[in-house]
């Protein structure tokens, strides 16, 4: 029996604290990236930007991994943006899910990339690499983000151009949604860069911050702790280096119980 079939069997007798939801759609972007949606359990509450533990039954037991919820808090469906690690204990199976399959989810979402963890400001930066864009996929579709900030800047850095497609799809979907588009207006700026292919915007985000090119390209002033707020999600190295640059500019790291000027969340090692 494959993992989805075993998960379906497991779902007939679920332990407390676990949901089994039905996959609604799957979109494959590259050999290493895909997006999927599933039903949202009645009564499941989360704040845009949080993550949950999702899983499948592999062998004879469920295996869970942390996943940022990519859909906004108001959405009727739950969306995720996932890596496909060839030998990954979860994703070697998760990448094979199809509409109608079951995916497990633990009941308690959590996370630091939430609006409440930041003190008020005018401009919100979201710095992401790879699948680190997922929590921001949630936040850029949440009207509350635009109530709190005059400008929202989403940066997404990947190795190859094809890996940026999800981000462009998100912006297109916002534009196609009459209500959301009116709320977002021209407040959202999407800045996509690649490191390993030719592209109009090239390079690591840390280099682009340090050189000032990011700010020049966007037509915004350099980082200012009085007005700028930031969230970082991606590889460990990118988080460490970006956080160091924010601290150099005078921003301090916050948390749910201690809001400040920026917050981080490690999405993966490497």
Ligand X SMILES: Cc1cc2nc3c(=O)[nH]c(=O)nc-3n(C[C@H](O)[C@H](O)[C@H](O)COP(=O)(O)OP(=O)(O)OC[C@H]3O[C@@H](n4cnc5c(N)ncnc54)[C@H](O)[C@@H]3O)c2cc1C
Partners of 128 in beta bridges? 156, 233
Quickly list DSSP for the chain: --HHHHHHHHHTTPPTTEEEEEEEEEEEEETTEEEEEEEPPTT----TT-EEEEEEEETTEEEEEEEE--S-TT-SEEEEEEE--TT-TTHHHHTT--TT-EEEEES--B-S-SGGGB---SEEEEEEEGGGGHHHHHHTT-HHHHHH-SEEEEEEEESSGGGGHHHHHHHHHHHH-HHHHHHHTT-EEEEEEESSS--SSBS-HHHHHHHSHHHHHHT-PSP-TTTEEEEEEEEHHHHHHHHHHHHHTT--B-BTTB-BSEEEEEEE--
By CB under 6 A, tell whether 232 contacts ligand X. Answer: no
Q: Residue 184 in contact with residue 176, Cβ under 8 Å?
A: no
By CB under 6 A, tell whether 81 contacts ligand X. Answer: yes
Among the listed ranges 23-31, 75-83, 162-170, 204-212, the one in contact with ligand X (CB under 6 A) is 75-83
Which of 126, 154, 205, 267 forms a contact with ligand X (CB under 6 A)? Answer: 267
By CB under 6 A, tell whether 225 contacts ligand X. Answer: no
Instruction: Compare residues 33 and 152 and give the one whose CB is closer to ligand X.
Output: 33
Which of 7, 71, 91, 242 forms a contact with ligand X (CB under 6 A)? Answer: 91
By CB under 6 A, tell whether 136 contacts ligand X. Answer: no
CB-based closest residue to ligand X:
88
Binding flags for ligand X, 149-168, as an x/- string (CB under 6 A): --------------------
By CB under 6 A, tell whether 83 contacts ligand X. Answer: yes
Q: Which residues 42-61 are close enough to bind ligand X by CB under 6 A?
A: 51
By CB under 6 A, tell whether 16 contacts ligand X. Answer: no
By CB under 6 A, tell whether 89 contacts ligand X. Answer: yes
By CB under 6 A, tell whether 104 contacts ligand X. Answer: no
Query: What minimum distance in Å lies between the beta carbon of 227 and ligand X?
Result: 28
Q: Residue 36 in contact with residue 93, Cβ under 8 Å?
A: no
Which of 10, 19, 46, 67 forms a contact with ligand X (CB under 6 A)? Answer: 67
By CB under 6 A, tell whether 134 contacts ligand X. Answer: yes
Instruction: Compare residues 81 and 123 and give the one whose CB is closer to ligand X.
Output: 81
Instruction: Compare residues 32 and 228 and give the one whose CB is closer to ligand X.
Output: 32
- Interface residues with ligand X (CB under 6 A) are 51, 65-68, 80-83, 85, 88-91, 130-131, 134, 265-270
């Amino acid at each position: 029996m494959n993992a989805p079939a075993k998960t379906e069997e497991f779902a007939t007798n679920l332990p407390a604290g676990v949901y089994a939801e039905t996959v609604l759609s799957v979109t494959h972007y590259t050999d290493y990236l895909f997006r999927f949606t599933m039903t949202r359990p009645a009564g499941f509450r989360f704040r845009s930007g949080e993550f949950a533990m999702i899983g499948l039954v592999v062998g004879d037991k469920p295996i869970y991994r942390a996943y940022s919820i990519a859909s906004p808090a108001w959405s009727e469906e739950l969306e995720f943006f996932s890596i496909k690690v060839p030998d990954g204990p979860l994703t070697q199976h998760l990448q094979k899910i199809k509409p109608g399959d079951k995916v497990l989810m633990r009941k308690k979402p959590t996370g630091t990339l939430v609006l409440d963890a930041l003190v008020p400001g005018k401009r919100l930066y979201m710095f992401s690499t790879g699948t680190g864009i997922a929590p921001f996929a949630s936040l850029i579709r949440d009207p509350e983000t635009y109530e709190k900030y005059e400008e929202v800047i989403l940066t997404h850095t990947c190795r190859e151009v094809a890996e940026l497609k999800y981000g462009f799809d998100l912006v297109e979907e916002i534009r196609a949604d009459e209500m959301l588009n009116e709320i977002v207006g021209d407040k959202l700026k999407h800045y996509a860069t690649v490191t390993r292919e030719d592209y109009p915007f090239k390079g690591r985000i840390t280099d682009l911050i340090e050189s000032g090119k990011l700010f020049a390209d966007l037509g915004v002033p350099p980082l200012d702790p009085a007005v700028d707020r930031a969230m970082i999600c991606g590889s460990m190295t990118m988080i460490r280096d970006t956080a160091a640059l924010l601290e150099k500019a005078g921003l301090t790291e916050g948390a749910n119980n201690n809001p400040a000027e920026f917050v981080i969340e490690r999405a993966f090692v490497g």
